[in-house]
Amino acid sequence: MDLTHVEGDLDIDQTLYTEEQILARLREMAAEIEVDYEGKDILLVGVLKGAVMVMADLARSLDRHVEMDWMAVSSYGSGTKSSGVVRILKDLDTDLTGRHVLIVEDIIDTGLTLSWLITNLKSRGPASVEIATLLRKPDALQMDVDVRYVGFDIPNAFVVGYGLDYAEKYRNLRDVAILSPHVYTD
């Protein structure tokens, strides 16, 4: 879905990052990852469904072998707020013992979901667990979790596109855009 063709139909305030900007930033992140993980096997762990696009483009930007696995979690909460109470809907297929795990995230807001995920994955005996996220909101800076790779620090707005949804819509928007507040406050 391309914003320029359908803008009139969508509740979008402004484009924050275009597809080109996102892909360029992911290539830079991939270059850093290649250096940091030289000589190590990487297992990329994506969190469904939001991280699908980031995983696809980050993985393809890496000029080396990587494995990919997926988890689906549900963070209880309604609308645009997350609660930190997490339930596993689909677990990994991979045994994490001795693995270098790189969690691939679309966005970190409060970081509650991520803190829970890190504790959970670390309990499975991996060699390392690090995080790569395309987007990070200001509240995430308060978390005590170190995020090793950050694409963009963004303002505190609700964003959609490039895998991110509002009520399961807008995931297929190519860019990342700010959703008009009236959509979720009306």
Binding mask 45-64 for ligand IMP (x = CB under 6 A): -----x--------------
Q: What's the rounded Cα separation, in Å, for the pair 157 and 181?
A: 8
Q: What's the rounded Cα separation, in Å, for the pair 53 and 125?
A: 28
Pick from 19, 45, 75, 173 the residue near ligand IMP by CB under 6 A: 75
With binding defined as CB under 6 A, does residue 151 bind ligand IMP?
no
The tokens for 45 are 């762990």
Q: Which residues contact 70 (CB under 8 A, 6 or more apart)?
A: 45, 46, 47, 48, 90, 92
- Alpha carbon distance, N-terminus to C-terminus of the chain: 25
3-state secondary structure of 146: coil
Pick from 30, 42, 45, 108 the residue near ligand IMP by CB under 6 A: 108
With binding defined as CB under 6 A, does residue 43 bind ligand IMP?
no
With binding defined as CB under 6 A, does residue 120 bind ligand IMP?
no
Pick from 45, 53, 101, 164 the residue near ligand IMP by CB under 6 A: 164
Would residue 144 show up in a list of annotated catalytic residues for this protein?
no
The residues binding ligand IMP (CB under 6 A) are 50, 75, 82, 106-114, 158-160, 164
